[in-house]
Chain A
Amino acid sequence: MSDLALSPSATPDESSRHRAWRRGWYRFRRNPAAVAGLVLVVLVVVAALGAPWLAPSPESAGTFVNFGERHQPPSLHHLFGTDNVGRDVFSRVLYGYRVSLLLVVFVLGLSVPFGVLLGLLAGYYGGWIETVIMRITDIFLAIPALVMALAITAALSPSLMNGMIAISLLWWNWHTRLIYTTVHALRHEEYVEAAKIAGASDAHILFREILPNCISVISVKVTLDAGFVILIGAGLSFLGLGAQPPTPDLGTMVASGANYLPEDWWESVLPGLAILFAILGFNLLGDGLRDLLDVEVS
Chain B
Amino acid sequence: MTVSGPNKGGPVLRVDDLRVAFSTFDGVADVLSGVDLEVHPGQRVGLVGESGCGKSVTMRAIMGILASPPARVRGRITFAGEELLTMGRAQRQALKGTAMSMVFQDPMTALNPVFRIGEQLTDVVRWADRRRGLRRTASERRARILEVLGQVRLPDPERIFDAYPVQLSGGMRQRVLIAMALLNRPRFLIADEPGTALDVTTQDEILRLLNELVRDEGLALLMITHNLGVVREMTDYVYVMYAGNVVEHGTTDAIFAAPAHPYTRALFACVPKLSGGRAYAGIEGTLPDYTRPPEGCRFHPRCPHAEARCFERPPSFDLGEQHHSACWLHAPTEAKS
> Is there a contact between chains A and B in the complex with CB atoms less than 8 Å apart?
yes
Q: Report which A residues bind B (CB closer than 8 A).
A: 1-5, 7-8, 10, 22-23, 26-27
- Bound-state Cα–Cα, A209 to B334, Å: 58
Would A7 and B290 count as touching, CB distance under 8 A? yes
Chain A residues whose C-beta falls within 8 Å of the C-beta of B289 in the assembled complex: 5, 7-8
Task: Tell me which residues across on chain B come within 8 A of A8, comparing CB atoms.
Answer: 289
When A10-B26, A23-B25, A26-B25 are in contact, do A3 and B290 touch as well, CB less than 8 Å?
no
Q: A5-B51, A26-B25 are in contact. List 11 more A-B contacts (CB 8 A).
A: A1-B70, A2-B56, A3-B51, A3-B54, A3-B56, A4-B31, A4-B290, A7-B290, A7-B291, A22-B25, A23-B25
Q: Nearest-CB distance from B58 to chain A (Å)?
A: 10
Q: How far is the CA of A178 from the CA of B70 in the complex (A)?
A: 34
Is there a chain A Cβ closer than 8 Å to B261's Cβ?
no
Q: How many residues of B contact A (CB 8 A)?
A: 18
A3 proximity list for chain B (CB < 8 A):
51-57
For residue B70, which residues in chain A have a CB less than 8 angstroms away from its CB?
1
Is B290's CB under 8 angstroms from A1's CB? no
**A7 touches which of B26, B51, B55, B56 (Cβ 8 Å):** B26
Residue in B22, B25, B51, B286 whose beta carbon sits within 8 Å of that of A27 in the complex: B25
| Contact among B22, B56, B57, B287 with A5 in the assembled complex (CB-CB below 8 Å) | B287
Interface residues of B (CB under 8 A from A): 22, 25-26, 29, 31, 51-57, 70, 286-287, 289-291
Interface centre among A4, A22, A26, A27, by most B CB within 10 Å? A4
Which residues of B have CB within 8 Å of A10?
26
Chain B residue with the shortest CB-CB distance to A1: B22
Beta-carbon contact of A5 and B52 below 8 Å: yes
The interface residues of chain A lying within 8 Å CB-to-CB of B286 are 5
Whole-angstrom CA separation of A100 from B22 in the bound complex: 44
Q: What residues on B are CB-neighbors of A4 within 8 Å?
A: 22, 29, 31, 52, 290
How far is it, in angstroms, between the C-alpha of A27 and the C-alpha of B51 when the chains are bound?
Answer: 24
In the bound complex, CA of A201 to CA of B51 (Å): 37
* Residues of B close to A22: CB separation below 8 A: 25
Sort A-B residue pairs by CB-CB distance and give the 4 closest, nearest first: A5-B52, A7-B289, A3-B56, A26-B25
CA distance A5 to B243 in the complex (A): 10
Q: How far is B26's CA from A23's CA once the two chains are assembled, in angstroms?
A: 9
Tell me the smallest distance from the CB of B187 to a CB of chain A, in Å: 26
What residues of B have a CB within 8 angstroms of the CB of A26 in the complex?
25
Residue of A nearest to B60 (CB): A3
Separation of A7 and B27 alpha carbons in the complex (Å):
11
Q: Which residues of A sit under 8 angstroms from B290, Cβ to Cβ? A: 4-5, 7
Chain A residues, CB < 8 A from B57: 3
Q: List 7 A-B contacts (CB under 8 A).
A: A2-B56, A3-B51, A3-B52, A4-B31, A7-B26, A10-B26, A27-B25
The distance from the CB of B270 to the nearest CB of chain A, in whole angstroms, is 17
CA of A27 to CA of B31, assembled, Å: 20
Residue on A nearest B31 in the bound complex, by CB: A4
A160: min CB distance to chain B, Å: 45
Question: What residue of chain A has the Cβ atom nearest to residue B56's Cβ?
Answer: A3
A9 to chain B, nearest CB (A): 9
- Interface-centre pick from B55, B289, B290 (highest chain A CB count, 10 A): B289
Chain A residues lying within 8 Å of B54, measured Cβ to Cβ, are: 3
Chain A residue at smallest Cβ distance from B66: A1
With a cutoff of 8 Å between Cβ atoms, the chain B residues found around residue A2 in the complex are 56
A23 to B24 alpha-carbon distance, docked (Å) = 10
B97 nearest CB across to chain A (Å):
22
In the complex, residue of chain B having the shortest beta-carbon distance to the beta carbon of A23: B25
The CA of A5 and the CA of B26, in the complex, are separated in Å by 12
| B-side contacts of A5, CB under 8 Å | 51-52, 286-287, 289-290
CA of A3 to CA of B26, assembled, Å: 16
| Chain B, residue nearest A3 (CB) | B56
Inter-chain contacts of A1 with B (CB < 8 A)? 22, 70
Within 8 Å CB of A27, what residues of B?
25
Instruction: Say how far A194's CB is from chain B's closest CB, in angstroms.
Output: 23
How long is the Cα–Cα vector from A225 to B56 in the complex, in angstroms?
Answer: 41
Give chain A nearest CB distance to B298 CB in angstroms: 12
A8 to B288, CA, bound (A): 9
Q: Which residue of chain A has the shortest Cβ distance to B243 in the bound complex?
A: A5
User: In the complex, A160 Cα to B70 Cα: how many Å?
Assistant: 50
Q: What is the minimal beta-carbon distance from A297 to any residue of chain B, in angstroms?
A: 16
Minimum C-beta distance from A14 to chain B (A): 12
Q: How far is the CB of B96 from chain A (nearest CB, A)?
A: 20
Residues of chain A with a CB closer than 8 A to B53's CB: 3
Give bound CA distance, A10 to B31, whole Å.
18
Q: A7 to B255, alpha carbons, bound, how many Å?
A: 31
Q: Measured between alpha carbons, how far is A37 from B156 in the docked complex, in Å?
A: 56
| Complex alpha-carbon distance, A205 and B291, angstroms | 38
Q: Which residues of B contact A23 (CB under 8 A)?
A: 25
Residue on B nearest A10 in the bound complex, by CB: B26
A198 shortest CB reach to chain B, Å: 28
